[in-house]
Chains A and B, each alone.
Chain A
């Protein structure tokens, strides 16, 4: 674990894997709730880092963090959200072929995974979900689509995600959901906030 000072009031803590990010993020939220991170207004996990913004004395905190023992995250930590999906995406056949299974088996493979929202980005409420077994990781499409419909369940690399609104996108689209991913009038606004665990079930079953 390496802490890099960012400007006058921020710290970027770098680790080696998505699992370590999840554990560090949980630890940082625990410590913030315990009042240890006075002034910190943003805790932003990403692929291999967690950013803390609003740190009063970044260099001092960087030195302290180096000594932290961060416990690994238990698989059962974090709220669990179940999202019904219709497996009707335009890339379903290609994904099934790449996985070497029948189209009907994709739902089972995705449904067997308990995902975790690693971080958000790209658009408000767009969560990058980790947990898919490595043998199922697929590259992005060679040519991104100019418009991916809202609610599309998509895969790219180690991540799964659901587009909260229509936008351009290059991920492989395998299904769709009516779940509202993002509603700023709702508390919480994001269905997929960092740390949330997600299961995709087949709609109508």
Chain B
């Protein structure tokens, strides 16, 4: 059986795929890769279907040893990739001999890296997904050193030779404005907030808080939203990208491990796709602006 051994787990490395959509009514978060484009690209580069499990690293990468010959690819936050200490390609398929050590380095910009292996990481799925859900605890545990990761059989698609496939540079990268711009469709609970608050939300600048995680991107440093009413909202269903406003008035953008229901009003929704992928790569301290969209 093809396997990889975890030598250095990194700050927070989890297995991720496309998650568990369809179970929210049972209290199961969607979960799955936060930067879906980088996850999909890593899989394409090694000839995997989009649903194959990859490793999602956080800021400082991961170090693995191939216990059998494998082909891997690293995408997401740009970083140095080394094989047995020698520089190797980022954003391209890389072949590893049995015993070779792959080091995915610290993110030069952005936050989350993705490591795909040809055949996909073949840990036991739970409700059809191998994603680690940090809110509910479903799926495989967070990676730790010494873990052996099984690799599945390769699919029919060839390894892609094209390293021209690139993900958009993450906010904070050289030449990219150090600001996360999130389109916001206002509603469904915008009427919980004053008009002046809503206007400020769409013109002010916030920063990404260090308390952000896979559940939500928390903001700080901007004007808190003021409510038009007191009281509580009965818990209601939440979508990916919902911008929830807790009592401190600072918006939280729900990411993949968000709770399926919540009792704080949602002022608007950031659409799935490029904006949420960029949010997954925004480091604490990066500026955040919300701009009206539809």
Query: Which residues from chain A sit less than 8 Å from chain B, CB to CB?
Result: 4-10, 12, 41-51, 53, 119-126, 184, 188-190, 193-194
The answer to whether A119 touches B239, judged by C-beta atoms less than 8 angstroms apart, is no
**Count of CB-CB pairs between chains A and B under 8 Å:** 105
The answer to whether B271 touches A7, judged by C-beta atoms less than 8 angstroms apart, is yes
The answer to whether B261 touches A42, judged by C-beta atoms less than 8 angstroms apart, is no
Q: Binary interface profile of B, 122-137, with partner A (CB < 8 Å = 1, else 0)?
A: 0000110000000010
Q: Binary interface profile of B, 267-278, with partner A (CB < 8 Å = 1, else 0)?
A: 011111000000
The answer to whether A126 touches B27, judged by C-beta atoms less than 8 angstroms apart, is yes
Which 3 A-B pairs give the minimum distances between C-beta atoms?
A51-B237, A7-B269, A47-B234
Q: Binary interface profile of B, 213-242, with partner A (CB < 8 Å = 1, else 0)?
A: 000000000000000000000111111011
Contacts A7-B241, A124-B26; A49 near B187 (Cβ below 8 A):
no
Q: How many residues of B contact A (CB 8 A)?
A: 34
The answer to whether B261 touches A119, judged by C-beta atoms less than 8 angstroms apart, is yes
The answer to whether A42 touches B188, judged by C-beta atoms less than 8 angstroms apart, is no
Cross-chain pairs A/B with CB under 8 angstroms, 6 sampled: A7-B239, A45-B25, A51-B237, A120-B26, A121-B27, A188-B26
List residues of chain A with CB within 8 A of the CB of B260: 44, 120-121
CB distance from A101 to the nearest CB of B (A): 29
List residues of chain B with CB within 8 A of the CB of A43: 25
Contacts A41-B21, A43-B25; A8 near B237 (Cβ below 8 A):
no
The answer to whether A6 touches B26, judged by C-beta atoms less than 8 angstroms apart, is no
Which chain B residue has the least Cβ–Cβ distance from A44? B237
CB distance from A88 to the nearest CB of B (A): 26
Q: Select one of A42, A126, A189 contacting B24, CB under 8 A.
A: A42
List residues of chain B with CB within 8 A of the CB of A4: 187-189
CA of A193 to CA of B28 in the docked complex: distance in angstroms?
A: 12
CA of A119 to CA of B138 in the docked complex: distance in angstroms?
A: 20
Does B259 touch A at the CB level, under 8 Å?
Answer: yes
7 additional A-B pairs beyond A120-B25, A120-B260, A194-B25, beta carbons within 8 Å, are A6-B239, A12-B236, A42-B21, A47-B236, A125-B27, A184-B127, A188-B26
Does B156 touch A at the CB level, under 8 Å?
Answer: no
Which chain B residue has the least Cβ–Cβ distance from A164? B27
Does B294 touch A at the CB level, under 8 Å?
Answer: yes
CA of A46 to CA of B24 in the docked complex: distance in angstroms?
A: 11
CA of A10 to CA of B30 in the docked complex: distance in angstroms?
A: 15
The answer to whether A53 touches B239, judged by C-beta atoms less than 8 angstroms apart, is yes
CA of A22 to CA of B235 in the docked complex: distance in angstroms?
A: 15
Q: Select one of B23, B28, B188, B259 contacting A12, CB under 8 A.
A: B188
CA of A46 to CA of B237 in the docked complex: distance in angstroms?
A: 6
The answer to whether B24 touches A44, judged by C-beta atoms less than 8 angstroms apart, is yes
Does B174 touch A at the CB level, under 8 Å?
Answer: no
CA of A47 to CA of B232 in the docked complex: distance in angstroms?
A: 12
